[in-house]
């Protein structure tokens, strides 16, 4: 399972803004931290009723999970008693999973609303569309939609080995697969070939699309591919992007303890001999 797999709950992102009520759940962010109340191994989100004197125009409707509505606080709210801001990475392993998914998805939308208050062309305040999730400029008509960055996760196989890497200069230090963002004018398959060549200097073949994942920590839509080495297996590592890259055996793949990412799901399939 991954972070978006919240069954039996259902995520509703159809644009059907609701009026805010006292039991609506509130997502308030302070940079990349979110306001929660921790309760042992689980957490809860504040409701509108937790904030004295709250006004509807201080919140933006985001989405619903089941029949519960989620709203974004337009500004960072002071923490009510018992609540605190925690770094968003807490949501990688937090329970309940549907609230963790909501917190990360909300962060992506919060960043978009924060970065699109004025028209980038003429500087006029942007207006909220009533028909779709879109901000438009009443002066020059420019329309802004939430930004989604397509990227690839690539599991390269060679004989009975898997190519893994660790990132250079990043907070995430665990074993990962080759990954990278799509560029303008290329297919997602061409992204796979280019990223593998740029990061480790090898060619690949037999591309097989596996699954996609919304990764809202970085406003990304991930496309997971399995493929095979094509030719020489010597790695020429781009050390600006990667700290290390190497071929490992199935039994060297670490256990997936978080059950949150497409990367680890793909590595686990290889570990179990399923791909």
Q: Residue 57: its pLDDT value, please?
A: 93
Q: Residue 151: its pLDDT value, please?
A: 98
Q: Residue 1: its pLDDT value, please?
A: 83
Give phi and psi for 57, each to the nearest 5: -75, 0
What gap in Å lies between CA 49 and CA 242, rounded to an integer? 47
Give the tens place of pLDDT for each residue, 33-42: 999 999 988 9
Specify the pTM: 0.93
What gap in Å lies between CA 128 and CA 138, rounded to an integer? 10
Q: Residue 170: its pLDDT value, please?
A: 74
* Listed residue (125, 116, 115, 105) closest to 62, CA to CA: 105
Ranges of the chain whose pLDDT falls below 70: none
**In the block, residue with structure tokens 């190497």:** 246
Q: Count CA atoms within 13 Å of residue 223 on its CB side.
A: 19
Whether the CB-CB separation of 177 and 265 falls below 8 Å is answered with no
Give the tens place of pLDDT for each residue, 111-167: 999 999 999 999 999 999 999 999 999 999 999 999 999 999 999 999 999 999 998
DSSP 206-257: EEEEEEEEEEGGGTEEEEEEEEEE-S-------TTTEEEEEEEEGGGSPP-S
Whether the CB-CB separation of 162 and 270 falls below 8 Å is answered with yes
């Amino acid at each position: 399972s991954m972070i978006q797999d919240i069954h039996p709950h259902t995520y509703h992102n159809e644009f059907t803004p609701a009026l805010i009520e006292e039991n609506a759940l509130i997502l308030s962010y302070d940079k990349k931290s979110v306001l929660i109340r921790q309760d042992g191994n689980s957490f809860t989100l504040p409701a509108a009723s937790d904030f004295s004197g709250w006004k509807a125009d201080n919140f933006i409707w985001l989405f619903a999970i089941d029949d519960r509505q989620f709203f974004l606080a337009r500004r960072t709210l002071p923490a009510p008693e018992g609540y605190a801001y925690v770094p968003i990475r807490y949501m990688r392993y937090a329970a309940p999973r549907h609230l963790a998914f909501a917190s990360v998805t909300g962060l992506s939308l919060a960043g978009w609303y924060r970065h699109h208050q004025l028209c980038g062309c003429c500087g006029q305040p942007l207006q909220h569309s009533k028909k779709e999730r879109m901000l438009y400029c009443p002066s020059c008509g420019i329309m802004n939609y939430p930004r989604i960055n397509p990227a690839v996760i690539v599991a390269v196989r060679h004989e009975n080995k898997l190519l893994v890497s660790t990132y250079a200069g990043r907070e995430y230090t665990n074993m990962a697969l080759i990954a990278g963002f799509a560029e303008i004018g290329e297919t997602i398959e061409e992204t796979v070939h280019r990223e593998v060549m740029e990061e480790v200097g090898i060619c690949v073949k037999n591309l097989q699309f596996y699954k996609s994942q919304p990764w809202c920590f970085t406003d990304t839509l991930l496309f997971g591919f399995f493929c095979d080495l094509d030719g020489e297996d010597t790695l020429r590592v781009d050390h600006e992007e990667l700290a290390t890259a190497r071929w490992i055996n199935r039994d060297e793949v670490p256990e997936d303890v978080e059950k949150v990412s497409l990367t680890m799901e793909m590595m686990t399939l290889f570990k179990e001999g399923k791909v």
